[in-house]
Amino acid sequence: MAKIISIHSFRGGTGKSNTAANIAALLAGGGKKTGVVDTDIQSPGIHVLFGIDQAAIKYTLNDFLWGKCEIRHASYDMSQAQGIAPPGKLFLIPSSVKTGDIARVLHYGYDVNLLREGFQRLIDELALDYLLIDTHPGLNEETLLSIALSDVLIIVLRPDQQDYQGSAVTVEVSRQLEVPSLLLLVNKVPSILNMDDLKQKVEKTYNCPVAGLIPHSEEMMVLASSGIFALHYPHHPVTELYRRVADMLTA
């Protein structure tokens, strides 16, 4: 049975897409068939991390949602480009970066139920073990749907008051949607903070396990928008932290 994992954050800029890409890469690297869907249609970005050639993208998630194609036509096998060895597979389902397409979503919206159907078909047709959903920040309808469909919800937050407050809302809403597993991932932690203290405090506040605390890393910042960190630095301590999160998902 495939697992759907949503990666969400209350605000933008938390490193949500980066987290999704790294965890997906590590799952695929561990021999799992993994798909990543960019449902952040209003501000897509995860495709940049995969280094996918714009010219090679014929169909996107937008085309599927507007009935222009099948969902499998909008999925791209990134295994070879990212050096994932069989039996692992890494698929990307990007959103359109064309401003016209983005404007259309903002203006007309789309059939949210079709998104659910799309996820299911992806899992079936690509024989996925894991489907990761990179959501849009905030709690709009398609994000709520993604959360509702998830087996695991990973909430990415930075250690600041606004993220603390927003994440509390997300945690509560997810509990009402009865998401089976909730995980918190504290990202961009300044080096001055004591990791253990912070972990304890966050777990106590949300009554929810913390999957990891990722320190603010200079190397990460350099590579942040040009590649998948875990694949470039497989032995870096930060990669180890991501790997632990991936291991929690496969356990």
Partner 1 sequence: MQPLSVKTVFQKLSHWGLLWAVLYGLMNILSNQLTLPAAPAIAIRPQVALPMIIGFFYGPLPGFVTGFLGNMIGDVLYGYGIGQFWNWHIANGLMGLVPGLAAMLAGIKVMKTVRDFGIIEAAVVVSCAVAVGVAVCLDLLFIHLMKFPESFNAWILPAFIFNAVSGFILVPVFFLLARRVVITLETRTILTITSLLVVAILSTSITITWAMHDDLTSYNALVNAIYFAGIVSVIMVIIGFASSIYFVKRITGPVTLLTEAAVSVEKGEYDLESIQPVSRRTDELGQLSRVLQNMAGEVYQREQTLKKQVEQLQIRIDRKKMDQDVADIVGTDYFQDLREKVKEFRKK
Q: Is 172 in the site for partner 1 (CB under 8 A)?
A: yes
* Contact between 192 and partner 1 per CB under 8 A: yes
176 touches partner 1 by CB under 8 A: yes
Structural contact between residues 90 and 77, judged by C-beta atoms closer than 8 angstroms: yes
CB atoms within 10 A of CB 168: 15
Write down the residue that tokens 């995980």 correspond to: 183
Residue 236: name the closest of 223, 251, 249, 247 by CA: 223
Shortest distance in whole angstroms from residue 186 CB to partner 1: 10
Q: Pick one of 145, 184, 230, 231: the residue that binds partner 1 (CB under 8 A).
A: 145
169 binds partner 1 (CB under 8 A): yes
Please report, in angstroms and rounded to a whole number, the separation of the first and last CA atoms in the chain: 14
Site for partner 1 in 198-237 (CB under 8 A): 198, 201-202, 205
Q: Give the interface segment with partner 1, choosing from 61-69, 95-103, 166-174, 215-223 (CB under 8 A).
A: 166-174
Q: Which of 98, 164, 181, 223 is in the footprint of partner 1 by CB under 8 A? A: 164
Nearer to partner 1, 53 or 178 (CB): 178
Contact 37, 132 (CB under 8 A): yes
Q: Which of residues 122-141 bind partner 1 (CB under 8 A)?
A: 139, 141
User: Which CB atom, from 43 or from 165, has the smaller least distance to partner 1?
Assistant: 165
Q: Which residues of 30-67 are buried (b: 16+ CB within 10 A; e: fewer)?
A: bebbbbbbbbbbeebbbbbbbebeeeebebbbbbbbbe
**CA-CA distance, 227 to 20, in Å (whole number)?**
12
| 117 touches partner 1 by CB under 8 A | no
Distance CA 112, CA 120 (A): 13
User: Which of 71, 78, 149, 211 touches partner 1 (CB under 8 A)?
Assistant: 149
- Rule CB under 8 A: which residues touch partner 1? 139, 141, 144-145, 148-149, 159-161, 164-165, 168-169, 172-173, 176-178, 190, 192-194, 197-198, 201-202, 205
